[in-house]
Chains A and B, each alone.
Chain A
């Protein structure tokens, strides 16, 4: 089985994000990590590879020089080779990104192409499904996990109040939601070995953008929290405040 996986390096969002003077994200002190949903997708890809002998995983990433740390880590976890589409700054337009990825993936004869359901920087939730349409492939978005039999995949997708079960003919595109499988970490030995895996660096060409980020701002701050009281005695006060002041019950 030939598997491709598109991964993006994103700022670690467990820390604060700050807006710099120029109106963009302040990159100082920011740590960069693999987009968490891409990490879940990598786990699914590696599981498939373990299950189906002769499988091969190719990574594709558009990103700056420093994205190679993330690519190496993903190679160490279980991917076999990588294509780094190198840029100084990642364009923000999802369509432009998707077109470059589609172009790269087009000739690869992949059976499955994985994406994260979204990148947690811009939270676009678009690229995977756009690439699928551009390549005219079937696509199920936000899947938690899969079962594979021959050239058919059963994909599980969480929706409001339920789980949709899809039967999908390969080749196909899947975008990954957090699922039942915890992503694994690479061993030191594997990190060393990853340096010897094939990594191709290319310069992509982007089309013009349909979207433009005009400004970033902080959401309005919440008023400082207020403690109503302690223990069961404070419950009537709380209920009165919710009813009369906040008017939510």
Chain B
């Protein structure tokens, strides 16, 4: 299998961590089969990102740059990716399983008539393609999926692979000639609305403090925000809290929300219904705080604490502050 291409996502001049994870995985696979790895960055004036990307090791950095590509364009970014694949005859294309990666990957699959495995947690090279592991049924089962053919595409689940810096030769940098004609685009990004309070996205956080119906109302979340601030984490919610209008849907964890796998998930006033469970069961460590000693969440929380959230959370925040002050 010749040539691995990794699409490296940047937004507002910042490279996505999950793309670096994909690049590291691409490098590992390339090492096994003696192939080259190229990283494609699409954007406007993104030369300064070459160094950030090079640290993770690749043979070539391809830059597709144009004023009109400053922000995401489904058609524009797709065309750049198509061009990059064609140019170097890549046989495996990896993307991070982000909103952008999930949007682009199937388009490439259609255009090259190549199989795509989404949200992979492992990838191995096979004789005529790749074999991946991926969660199905919202993580209740794992599927071993083979993608065959002269070209394969995979999106990688964020947080499932390690991003590792390496020492090595500096990559060659190439400008990828792409024809960009925004007047032909039929779906055009007009603007990106940002929440009033900027926070780390639930799908990208390594520490999540999640609140459910037990928080009693939107004000209840203040103590969770405080704990999140001390831990460098972000606040999420159960569907009960989202449906009640206390938190935005973007914060929802579970079957109809986000499926997350942080290092630490603290569930506060959440009963642990199966539809919530499937969204967070792959967290490395789960802590549950609930006043009901027989709440289902205690069956699978690594550490459970029985009691009133409104007493326990402030005490927990204080205790962690003390720990960090001791250094």
Contact = CB atoms under 8 A, between A and B. Distances in A.
Given A159-B192, A213-B143, A234 B307 contact: yes
Interface in A152-176: 154-155, 157-169, 172
Interface centre among A164, A216, A222 (most CB of B within 10 A): A164
A25 B117 CA distance: 19
Nearest to A157: B99
B302 A246 contact: yes
Contacts of B102: 125, 141-142
A159 B282 CA distance: 22
Nearest to B317: A235
B141 A211 contact: no
A241 B312 contact: no
B99 A232 contact: no
Given A142-B102, A235-B312, A211 B147 contact: yes
B148 A210 contact: yes
In which size bucket is the chain A interface? 35 or more
A235 B250 contact: no
B95 to A, nearest CB: 12
B32 interface: no
Contacts of A227: 293, 298, 304-306
Contacts of B72: 164
Interface residues of B, number: 94
A36 interface: yes
A100 B306 CA distance: 54
Interface stretch (A59-67, A83-91, A115-123): A115-123
Q: Interface SS of chain B: helix, strand, loop or mixed?
A: mixed
A193 interface: no
Contacts of B74: 138-141
Q: Interface SS of chain A: helix, strand, loop or mixed?
A: mixed
B187 A210 contact: no
Contacts of A131: 110
Contacts of A210: 113-116, 147-149
A127 B304 CA distance: 41
B256 interface: yes
Nearest to A230: B306
26 contacts: A13-B275, A13-B278, A17-B141, A120-B137, A126-B109, A126-B118, A128-B106, A130-B107, A133-B111, A161-B194, A163-B193, A178-B249, A178-B257, A210-B147, A211-B116, A211-B145, A214-B146, A217-B144, A225-B297, A225-B301, A225-B302, A238-B303, A238-B305, A238-B319, A242-B287, A249-B323
